[in-house]
Amino acid sequence: MNNLTKQPVYILAIETSCDETSVAVIENGKVIRSNIVSSQIETHRKFGGVVPEIASRQHVEVITLVIQEALEEAGVRPDELSAIAVTQGPGLVGALLIGVIAAKSLACALELPLIGVHHIAGHIYANQLVHELAYPAVALVVSGGHTELVHLPSPGEFHIIGQTRDDAAGEAYDKVARALQLPYPGGPHIDRLAHEADGEIVMPRAWLEADSYDFSFSGLKSAVLNTINQMQMRGESVPASSIAKGFQDSVVDVLVEKAVRAAKQYGARQLLLAGGVAANRGLRTRLTERFAEIGVPLLIPPFNLCTDNAAMIGAAAFLKWEKQEFTPLDFTAEPMLKLEAW
């Protein structure tokens, strides 16, 4: 609430960092008045991954329509808005720029403050749309572009304690899926196959140094690709589900055990799961079991808030609104934006 007037704070948020054009209207950082997501997945599927130039063009084509729809669905007039938020980075630079330009135009036309948001801060604060958060917290961010363990000592304060040294978890899922000739994005297909499997080809786990919270998935990915190649060379049929299970168990094992160790070390009052891979059933099940064992509440946003969306950007932007921390109009998209400096 805005303390002076008790009027609700409506933030219109824009997210265009990758292949989803999304606009949301968020009330007081918590209530989703609207969250429109226009996905380009069908366009990119034929190329087996996101084509940056095509992504930018599609954002340009739909952004104004998506803004209009978000306002209509929210039932909020432009003159009732308090601020415009936008993903500043990281992401594809051409894609980010479309959102940034749209946000600047709206802020100028409506004479509203701008709030630049880090994409990962958004993924983490998707949890705030469904639960009350408690600090200190630890977040496990697993998406197509990111794999990070983040310590949050207080609201809006982020310290990355571990990250991937090569492939992101979702990226490894998509590459293994491609080798098994599954459609893009491959994560959900591997997840399904792993659950149907009645055998398992055990794969290595990259624990790295004993005290490290970093991750590495490229060795695992190579192990899977080698297994598939060797079987094909020997003329054997490739047991996709046993391979999927071996791969998934390795990824889940490392993610979960490092998250448990981090939660204990940082005295976390909550573990916040974030990012598209949070949809993974194997990961959810193991995290639920292990966090129940150590008595730390586990928060998982619903699936539509795990994948890219603007509601999460509006939720994170509210933290800056509360501090009246605004972004100057001459800011630009930052494809390599650091989470600590968000």
Q: Which two tokens stand for residue 110?
A: 């409506």
CA–CA gap between residue 28 and residue 314 (Å, rounded): 9
Using the rule CB under 6 A, which residue among 11, 12, 13, 18 binds ligand KG4?
18
User: What tokens does 54 get?
Assistant: 């095509």
Question: Of all helices (H) and strands (E), which one includes residue 32?
Answer: strand 31-39
User: x/- string (CB under 6 A) for ligand KG4, residues 105-144?
Assistant: --------------------------------------xx
E runs forming strands in 147-258: 147-152, 159-163
Contacts (CB under 6 A) with ligand KG4, residues 187-216: 187-188, 191
**Closest to 56 (Cα-Cα) out of 335, 339, 338:** 335
CB atoms within 10 A of CB 110: 13
Q: Rule CB under 5 A: which residues touch Zn ion?
A: 143, 308
Out of ligand KG4, Zn ion, none, which partner does residue 280 contact, by CB within 5 to 8 A per kind? Answer: ligand KG4
Give the count of residues interacting with ligand KG4 (CB under 6 A): 19
Tell me which residue has tokens 């990758």. 18
Site for ligand KG4 in 254-283 (CB under 6 A): 275-277, 279-280
DSSP annotation string for 59-78: HHHHHHHHHHHHHHHHT--G
* Stretch binding ligand KG4 (CB under 6 A), from 181-189, 206-214, 238-246, 328-336: 181-189
Q: How far is the CB of 26 from ligand KG4 (least distance, A)?
A: 19
Taking CB under 6 A as the criterion, the residue among 10, 125, 158, 173 binding ligand KG4 is 173
- Is residue 94 part of the contact set for ligand KG4 (CB under 6 A)? no
Chosen residue from 15, 27, 167, 174 binding ligand KG4 by CB under 6 A: 174
All residues at 6 or more sequence positions from 170 whose CB lies less than 8 Å from its CB, including other chains: 142, 143, 144, 145, 147, 185, 187, 275, 276, 277
Query: Taking contact as CB under 6 A, which single stretch among the options 107-115, 182-190, 212-220, 238-246 is the one that binds ligand KG4?
Result: 182-190
- Residues facing 270 on adjacent strands: 137
**Cβ nearer to Zn ion, comparing 180 with 313:** 313
Residues of this chain that interact with ligand KG4 (CB under 6 A) are 18, 143-145, 170, 173-174, 185-188, 191, 275-277, 279-280, 307-308
